Structure 1
């Protein structure tokens, strides 16, 4: 698996929106992910269509429905079998 994800920021935008932003830095010459998918409450539940985002110029920003206490699983989908996963594991407040 090539590439790194750093940093990823997750912060509440409002009571019902979460903003996620990050930088995708590819350690190889090949392009990394062009899609970012966010899962909430388990890996089988994708958070709405707005959770899918294109990656341009190595960075992305998206807003998803949710609140600050949600556990999120962020998947950077790469070519073929390559993908990167970032999990927000903080406990609800």
Structure 2
């Protein structure tokens, strides 16, 4: 495997607008080498029979059953609005006739 050079780390840091000192450059070079080595190991695994996924754990929505309920809180709800007219909220006119 090719070694990640300091120049490559500096170039990527420059493109990402990062300011790195020498210790950080050396550290990032070593970390990038480790990542590439790990990817090289993963490439050896046969994944032909493995289905494609978008996440490691399948996510399901849990819905409750819709139930019809009678509610008589119209007055309470209308009182929460800034203005009302009879059984409706009163809102400012926004369209010209």
TM-score, normalisation: structure 1: 0.18
Asked which structure has the greater RCO (Cα within 8 Å, sep 6+), the reply is 1
TM-score, normalisation: structure 2: 0.18
Larger helix share, 1 or 2: 2
Larger Rg: 2
